[in-house]
Amino acid sequence: MTIINSFLDTMSALASESGFAGLFAGDGWKNIIMILVSFLFMYLAIAKGFEPLLLLPISFGMLLTNLPGAGLYHPEFWEYVDNPEYEHFIDYKRVLEEGGLLDILYMGVKLQLYPPLIFLGIGAMTDFGPLIASPRSFLLGAAAQGGIFFTFVGAAVLGLSAADCASIAIIGGADGPTSIFVSSRLLTSESSNNVGTIALAAYTYMALVPIIQPPIMKLLTTKKERSVVMGQLRQVSRLEKLIFPVLVTLVIALMIPSAAPLVGMLMFGNLLKESGACDRLVKTAQNELMNIITIFLGVSVGATTQADKVLSIDFAKVMILGVIAFGLGTACGVLIGKVMYIVSGGKINPLIGSAGVSAVPMAARISQKVGQEEVPTNYLLMHAMGPNVAGVIGSAVAAGVLLAIVK
């Protein structure tokens, strides 16, 4: 009888300490909802192809962090503690000694390591030729960042903190790594949002580019404007492609030092590619390094999407303001495109202005698709790639400006 009682006590203790007990006790229902949400994002990534390279790791990180008792991520470890030498201090020694797997990976987010390394890979895969061939594309890339700054001001009017305003506004650039870079720098443990909610909103809208952009593009342009067939771009020399990344790094890093980590690594990756002398490094940046960092970034960001942050009014505000920022960014790009259409005497198709957001190359493909709905033989892709890659630079610059404003 004693053996049976001991066995029953043991089983009872195991049951009470299991994750199942946590799911059905107290606020466990929130964890259940978040697990179901993670399943939804897995479905969108796998079945619908919505940004699968990042949405799938994020969704699985979301699943892991909402499993009660797993101990993979501890939000309390990331709370700032009092330290006489630093205004904001995280006890990384404690994270290394007591943290779970996702805590260790999340250090790369909090220390702003992953986003610049992602930019290194993007630079190694990007051809800036269309931008160099048509420098006016810089205007369209810059204009599309207007949504960021309009939303920053609007969020401030609504009474949000400066850190929240900047972190939400940067979503308008449609650049996940940049959004993570800004939010991880600005958001503290006391903020109403965290890196995970910002990243989730940013990647959601990146995935919804084909749905959000076309109605705005058609609303702001006429059939005649959408039907403009643009001439072929000039050939860009190798020397121009070599000078470009060095020149851009010097100019932007000196003007806006806060943007140097992102722009510098973006241009370094591009210089490796264009040099023709570093094939092994280029292949590593494009493939192995990019893939590893993408996995680490996605899973660790997903770990921060815990129920108390996502199932809240604050997250709803992030999603609403995020889509406004993205919509305004698209509209600003198209409107400046219309101005260029008029100034050029009808030689520039304003649709390419929508590609000024940083969703490469999806936004450029949308410009191409909408243009071909009017003229099936119209080929706008290369013309749209100029503003598109300008948007990558523009979003990094906007991030630097926001970080300089919000200290």
> Exposed e or buried b for every residue in 47-66, given b needs 16+ CB within 10 A?
eeebbbebbbbbbbbbbbbb
Alpha helices in 256-355 (DSSP H): 260-275, 279-283, 289-303, 307-310, 313-343
| Amino acid, res. 165 | C
The token duo for 257 is 């030092």
Residue 397: how many CB atoms within 10 A of its CB?
A: 22
Residue 167: how many CB atoms within 10 A of its CB?
A: 33
The DSSP call for residue 100 is -
pLDDT of amino acid 50 = 78
Give the C-alpha separation, 153 to 165, whole Å. Answer: 8
Q: Identify whether 339 is part of a domain.
A: yes
Alpha helices in 24-145 (DSSP H): 28-46, 52-65, 92-98, 101-110, 114-125, 129-133, 137-143
pLDDT, one tens digit per residue, over 107-124 is 999 888 999 999 999 999
pLDDT of amino acid 67 = 86
pLDDT of amino acid 158 = 86
Give the C-alpha separation, 129 to 165, whole Å. Answer: 34
Q: Identify whether 70 is part of a domain.
A: no
pLDDT of amino acid 208 = 79
Is this structure's pTM higher than 0.95? no
Tally of domains in the chain: 1
Q: Identify whether 44 is part of a domain.
A: no
CA distances from 119 to 142, 211, 301, 391, 407 (A): 18, 26, 17, 13, 23
pLDDT of amino acid 25 = 65
Q: Identify whether 203 is part of a domain.
A: yes
Place of tokens 């049951």: 15
Q: Identify whether 152 is part of a domain.
A: yes
The token duo for 7 is 């066995």
Q: Which residues of the chain have pLDDT under 50?
A: none
pLDDT of amino acid 176 = 85
pLDDT of amino acid 349 = 95
Give the C-alpha separation, 199 to 261, whole Å. Answer: 19
Q: Identify whether 365 is part of a domain.
A: yes
pLDDT of amino acid 185 = 86
pLDDT of amino acid 132 = 95
Query: Which of 237, 267, 241 lies closest to 252, judged by CA?
Result: 267
Give the C-alpha separation, 367 to 348, whole Å. Answer: 13
pLDDT of amino acid 18 = 57
Using an 8 Å Cβ cutoff, are 317 and 169 in contact? no
Domain containing residue 376 = 112-405
Q: Identify whether 75 is part of a domain.
A: no
Q: Identify whether 43 is part of a domain.
A: no
pLDDT of amino acid 17 = 56
| Close Cβ partners of 45 (under 8 Å, ≥ 6 residues apart) | 51, 52, 55, 56, 59
